[in-house]
Amino acid sequence: MQIMAFASQKGGAGKTTLAGHIAVQAERMGAGPVALLDADPQGSLADWWNERKAETPVFVHTSIARLEDDIERLRGFGIELLVIDTPPAITDTIAEVISLSDLVVIPTRPSPHDLRSVARTVDVAENMGKPLVFVVNGASARANITTDTAIALSQYGTLAPSIIHQRTDFASSMIDGRTVMEISRKSRSNDEIIALWSYLDGRLERLRRPTMRPPANGLLHSFGLTQDHQPQDRSLT
């Protein structure tokens, strides 16, 4: 099981919306079983899931105090991907979630306030040695600030190539527990989420690859081998 956390110090960055959409798209693309966990006391992701008619992804009821134990239980249940939404502040909760995550996704809206808030989230992830990905979210088409934001974020770390634009269908789909992919398969929003999941899935795939010991023998190295010739209720409570 891999763990993907959506984290940002700035409220309104779109963590909840993206967490729900990416979890659903991952399940649709066969990366499941996928589980969702809402670590934000506001409970917006839980509220969305409670409106949802579909059985997947499953929702996990837990607390930070028992988070690590419950993650181990999820591994035993056969969950392949756990997506976690976090509170909009740098707290012990975020630090705990990040420490247990394989990949940290930082949604950032194209605004000076969002850019100023990025550094602290980056510091937490980097201090724990966790790979991170920025996602430009809520962008306006053809706005210069979108390009400026992408350039600025690239100075901090890896930027996802799929930009998520501001559209009403994201908000309207979340009202009744759905996603833009479940409303219309011919929308630009649908295409952007598909592209974003494809990229994040690629990052997770690279993280899944086992680290191989560097061989002492150059000939073995040329064949990509090691010295021993070995390639290296709907909710859960």
Q: Is residue 234 domain-resident?
A: no
> Residue 227 has what pLDDT?
37
pLDDT tens, position by position, 134-156: 999 999 888 899 999 999 999 88
Q: Is residue 55 part of a domain?
A: yes
In a domain, 215, yes or no: yes
Q: Is pLDDT above 50 for 26?
A: yes
Query: CB of 129 within 8 A of CB of 99?
Result: no
- What is the extent of the structural domain holding 152? 2-222
CATH number at residue 193: 3.40.50.300
How many domains, in total, are found in the chain? Answer: 1
Kindly provide the b/e burial profile for residues 76-105, where b requires at least 16 CB atoms within 10 angstroms of the residue's own CB.
eeebbbbbbbbbbebeebbbbbbbebbbbb
Note whether residue 228 is domain-resident.
no
Stretch among 42-46, 54-58, 162-166, 223-227 having the lowest mean pLDDT: 223-227
In a domain? residue 237: no
Q: Could you report the per-residue pLDDT of 76-122, keeping only the tens digit for each? A: 999 999 999 998 876 778 889 999 999 999 999 999 988 888 888 89
pTM of the model: 0.85
Instruction: Name which of 235, 193, 169 is nearest 25 in CA terms.
Output: 193
> Band of the pLDDT at 234, cuts 50, 70, 90?
low
Residue 29 is given by DSSP the state T
Q: Whole-angstrom Cα distance, residue 106 to residue 58?
A: 23
